[in-house]
Structure 1
Amino acid sequence: MFAPSDLDVLVPTKDRAGALAVTLAGLATQTVSGFRVVVSDQSHEPVADDPLVAAQLRILDHRDRPAAVHRHLPPRGMAEQRAFLLGRAGRRLALYLDDDVWLEPEAIEVLLAAIGELRCGFVGYALHGLSYRDDVRPAELAPYEEWTDGVRPERVRRESPAWQRHTLHNASNPLHLARKHLGSPGPREWRPYKVAWIGGCVLYDRERLAECGGFDFWRSVPPRHAGEDVVAQLRVMERYGGAGLLPSRAYHLELPTTVTDRRAECYDYVFETAWAP
């Protein structure tokens, strides 16, 4: 089993101090302590100077969740920022948490229990978009399939049927999946299911992520890109397997994305074509 002291929480941020403060507040109220928080800041103004963020950093330190903010400029794309964070992680587990995600208090405790039991490359929570909580999409829920006999490696690509699982995480689909398949789950109940990928809240076995190349492919993609987390997860899944967890204990703040230019998908450059800077 893994302990909180085995965990680095890695948070990339850019020009969203208010959202980051909410994200850090969620980390401060986790049921476990001893993990470390590492923030990569690419904001125009240092995010640690924001009073709300500064207050949360003090609270984290006070509650045995030591936090460090690194100024990391100039921006070279999300893959490079995630690679930078991975280079500053030194513990066995690395939780990539976006700067606009609030976690339920038991979230990290459950993630640690799940990866300790499943022994796969990653586990994660798809993000709730609660503004869609009344928007039920049965067709998008159809690809749901649980891992019932342990998580196994699998190769997922666009042409494979498994790719269709990406609809499971649209809108508030994680909420509707949990209601359909779990009813009223206990506070620490979890169930693993098969994914195409997970965005926003993913806990990796750090050594396995690094073995699969991490995010070092940032040098082979245009600086303005999207989908870097997809590439990393597909690589890890192919060698070690990965799983989503129901119920999700992660909530999207539903702010506008900071990645506005999505014409260059990392998948295309890593798996299908070559690109020369």
Structure 2
Amino acid sequence: MGEPELEVLIPTRNRPTELATTLSGLAAQDLSDFAVVVSDQSDDAASYDTPAALAMARMLRYRGHRVRLSTHRPPAGMAEQRAHLLSRSRSRYVLFLDDDVWLEPGTLRRMRTAIGELRCGFVGCAVQGLSYLDDHRPQELDPFEIWPGAPEPERITREDKAWQRYTLHNAANPTHLAEQLALRPGDWLAYKVAWVGGCVLYDREKLVRTGGFEFWRELPRHHSGEDVLAQLRVQARYGGAGILPSGAVHLESPTTVPRREVEAYDIVPPDFWTE
């Protein structure tokens, strides 16, 4: 079996129920050419070592998808875990998918279509917290802006107005945006983002060219925001976009990264540069 065009990379720790749910979403996708790599750093038994998770892994394999389940210890922080996963991939595209995100059917195909047409560094589906469906926040939707064509490179810092786009992804805002747009079945559109959390499809070569997550060596073990930093770098050089409808549902479980006093952005500068 040759390398698939797309690999789904899932870092996981202490989330057996959530990981099984995440794998079930992947098993229901209609895209044929993708593989799954799970890297576990649980304190005790691996998150994938449950009947439910193993059943979903078998279903994925039955449908023709390669699945690799492995452990990677000791934990050295999320940036290192992501760097490890990226180092194991050789596919054209890599989807970093958090272990507490369920994808509705068709989401993976939509993301693959979007990055192929847009030819940017990444496309992301912001996770939706469906417990907030009745919590409408129109003021947080003000930064919404559609990309009229292919995304252009943007250098975004905390001081820029574009940074405020992060509010687009709070609570159930992605759901409410999609409802307002009234997209027809099968349609999607790209919009401008600061970054996207939880479900991001990269052009792997473009991610590697901007350093990937190799900055993990400069961070303490307990940190957050490593995905933000990587996306800022990719976006500055190649452009990036969010896409709607999202199709990514956050399971709203407690975080497994409780210590967030250190932001990667504060330790390692975005380091914008061009070829």
1:205 counterpart letter in structure 2 = D
RMSD: 1.3
2:155 counterpart letter in structure 1 = R
Aligned length: 268
Aligned to 1:223, the other structure's residue is in SS state: coil
Partner of 2:248: 250
Partner of 1:204: 202
Aligned to 2:11, the other structure's residue is in SS state: strand
Partner of 1:269: 267
Aligned to 1:60, the other structure's residue is in SS state: helix
Q: What TM-score, normalized to structure 2?
A: 0.95
What's the CA shift for 1:272?
A: 8.0
1:129 counterpart letter in structure 2 = G
- Identity %, equivalent residues: 57
2:201 counterpart letter in structure 1 = L
What's the CA shift for 1:189?
A: 1.0
Partner of 2:6: 7
Partner of 1:119: 119
Q: 1:60 to 1:104 in 2, by over 3 A?
A: same
Aligned to 1:131, the other structure's residue is in SS state: helix
Aligned to 1:47, the other structure's residue is in SS state: coil
1:80 counterpart letter in structure 2 = E
What's the CA shift for 1:104?
A: 1.0
Partner of 1:240: 238
Aligned to 1:80, the other structure's residue is in SS state: helix
* Whole-angstrom distance in 1 between the partners of 2:142 and 2:158: 18
Partner of 2:164: 164
* Whole-angstrom distance in 1 between the partners of 2:111 and 2:185: 13
Residue 25 of structure 2 corresponds to residue 26 of structure 1: yes
Q: Which deviations, in whole Å up to 9, do the C-alpha atoms of 1:35-54 show, x marking residues without a partner? A: 10000100121233211111
**Structure 2 residue runs without a partner (length 5+):** none
8 A Cα contact 2:79 2:215, kept in partner: yes
Moved over 4 A (4+): none
Q: Which deviations, in whole Å up to 9, do the C-alpha atoms of 1:57-108 show, x marking residues without a partner? A: 1111001111101110000110000000001111110000000101011001
What's the CA shift for 1:186?
A: 2.7
Partner of 2:105: 105
Aligned to 1:39, the other structure's residue is in SS state: strand
1:252 counterpart letter in structure 2 = H
What's the CA shift for 1:126?
A: 0.4
* Whole-angstrom distance in 2 between the partners of 1:102 and 1:258: 17
8 A Cα contact 2:11 2:81, kept in partner: yes
Aligned to 1:204, the other structure's residue is in SS state: strand
Partner of 1:219: 217
What's the CA shift for 1:223?
A: 0.5
8 A Cα contact 2:229 2:270, kept in partner: no
* Whole-angstrom distance in 2 between the partners of 1:243 and 1:261: 29
Aligned to 1:49, the other structure's residue is in SS state: coil
Partner of 1:61: 61
**Structure 1 residue runs without a partner (length 5+):** none
2:158 counterpart letter in structure 1 = R
1:55 counterpart letter in structure 2 = A
8 A Cα contact 1:28 1:65, kept in partner: no
* Whole-angstrom distance in 2 between the partners of 1:46 and 1:175: 33
Partner of 2:39: 40
1:89 counterpart letter in structure 2 = S
* Whole-angstrom distance in 2 between the partners of 1:120 and 1:49: 36
1:253 counterpart letter in structure 2 = L
Q: 1:216 to 1:123 in 2, by over 3 A?
A: same
Aligned to 1:219, the other structure's residue is in SS state: helix
Q: What TM-score, normalized to structure 1?
A: 0.94
Moved more, 41-50 or 145-154: 41-50
8 A Cα contact 1:106 1:187, kept in partner: no
* Whole-angstrom distance in 2 between the partners of 1:241 and 1:49: 38
Partner of 2:145: 145
8 A Cα contact 1:30 1:106, kept in partner: yes
Aligned to 1:70, the other structure's residue is in SS state: strand
